[in-house]
Structure 1
């Protein structure tokens, strides 16, 4: 009986952990350290996707900017509403094997996403090009 209860608890923990990044996250500009955008992460058909829901005001940015440098179906689409995260799969510890686009340069990267184990309000988002990668930390939105 203890084994069954322990198994159910572990199963619940794994499912809860997988779901924990669902919601809205604030992206931070690498150069300025200022809030850049809000991204909503959501599940569809057991995969993780994300779209920009808000752009923080920035001096010099045109109104309703578009993804001018994107080269796929996102080309010239408005940034607000743009699906930037696509098709990540849960591996039991993180979301991986999907893609993320950087709307500023139009480049698409292989992607992995996971919650910080010490601070559940932080999400690590890593984009890969071959063996090279860059990791950003997004902050859980409470706004």
Structure 2
């Protein structure tokens, strides 16, 4: 009985090691042109453009002009979600990433590299592109 209790206690203590590290916070994109704030969005996690570090071509009021959906082309980039539907999956976060420069949405995997770096991967089929975002101060 005692061995079973010890084994169960060890298993319960080890479980948090399998969890993904939190990705919430403010992150500077790899191109250093925007700050993305990641946090809860209903039942999932999302990331929104909360600050431009480099003004877009049409200024701070830039609209989502490259979106494939004509109905969404008038929405402002500032405040717009670019990471959507993220949920924890083992040591990673899985969801979708939207690129306002191309107007395309990709399957995405995000993971914390360390306290100040976030690895953001966007994939179409087997082909992926990875960026490293840094924590905003």
Higher alpha-carbon deviation: 70-79 or 5-14: 5-14
Provide structure 2 residue ranges, at least 5 long, that are not aligned to the other structure: none
1:13-54 CA distance string (max 9 Å, x none): 445x44x2111111121xxxxx21011111234422111100
Cα RMSD (Å) = 2.1
User: Is the Cα contact below 8 Å between 1:85 and 1:101 reproduced in 2?
Assistant: yes
Question: How many angstroms does 1:121 deviate by?
Answer: 1.0
TM-score (norm 2): 0.82
Counterpart Cα distance in 1 of 2:43 and 2:17: 17
2:47 equivalent to 1:50:
yes
- Residue in 1 aligned with 2:15? 11
- Residue in 2 aligned with 1:27? 29
Counterpart Cα distance in 1 of 2:38 and 2:72: 17
TM-score (norm 1): 0.79
Indicate the structure (1 or 2) with the bigger Cα radius of gyration.
Answer: 2
Give the 3 Å change call, closer, same or farther, for CA 95–66 of structure 1 in structure 2: same
2:122 equivalent to 1:141:
no
Aligned length: 132
Q: Which runs of 4+ in 1 moved over 6 A?
A: none
Q: Which has the higher contact order (CA 8 A, sep 6+)?
A: 2
Question: How many angstroms does 1:75 deviate by?
Answer: 2.4
- Name the SS of the counterpart of 1:105 in structure 2: coil
